[in-house]
A and B are shown apart, each in its own frame.
Chain A
Amino acid sequence: GDSVTQMEGPVTLSEEAFLTINCTYTATGYPSLFWYVQYPGEGLQLLLKATKADDKGSNKGFEATYRKETTSFHLEKGSVQVSDSAVYFCALNTGNQFYFGTGTSLTVIP
């Protein structure tokens, strides 16, 4: 069935370090892919999205490229800040349903 698998955490990085959070998916057809961010005690906020193969979503210095050949949508940021500390969810929309990964907790230390 359709699913999303993302890198387990927690991830701890120093400020200004490079971030990669891996996400792979299984789906039939042509889904859209998303990254959501959740700050403590809050709901999920859309961070970026890509709706077709080779699309690159970007926002607030974060980027992810929809790779159909490797069924991946890895999240990257060149220089993380303390304010980026949150839980990040990879998600898939098949048109019938959303599927979410288990979330990756990121802590950035000064």
Chain B
Amino acid sequence: DGGITQSPKYLFRKEGQNVTLSCEQNLNHDAMYWYRQDPGQGLRLIYYSQIVNDFQKGDIAEGYSVSREKKESFPLTVTSAQKNPTAFYLCASTSGTGVRTEAFFGQGTRLTVV
């Protein structure tokens, strides 16, 4: 079945560590996105990529980094510069950038700082 796979489902980070969240899709979608979800704040865009080897900052990119070396993969690294990383992270993809395009989501990764 086609879809988006995020791993791991739960992740624990110590202070000062970098951690990488995986996002893989087999939908052959061009565009991929990373969102952060906090209680009562909805989804906030961290980074997005519309084509391989290109990506743009979203609204809250500070303390995060991404790469897009392959069409199907868009990993997110949460660096030690992110002061409050505990949150639920969602990866999404779309087949293009047209206005009628719907977004498909992975199951999410819950990151906790310990």
Residues on A lying within 8 angstroms of B by beta carbon are 29-32, 34, 36, 41-46, 49, 51, 89, 91, 93-98, 100-103
Contacts and interface: CB of A to CB of B under 8 A. Distances in A.
Given A102-B40, A102-B42, A103-B42, A32 B107 contact: no
- Contact size class for B? 20 to 34
B8 to A, nearest CB: 13
Contacts of B108: 41-43
A89 B43 contact: yes
Nearest to B42: A102
Contact of B103 (A29, A51, A98): A98
A60 to B, nearest CB: 16
Interface in B89-108: 90, 92, 97-108
A96 B105 contact: no
B45 interface: yes
A96 B35 CA distance: 16
B102 A34 contact: yes
Nearest to A51: B100
A31 B98 CA distance: 10
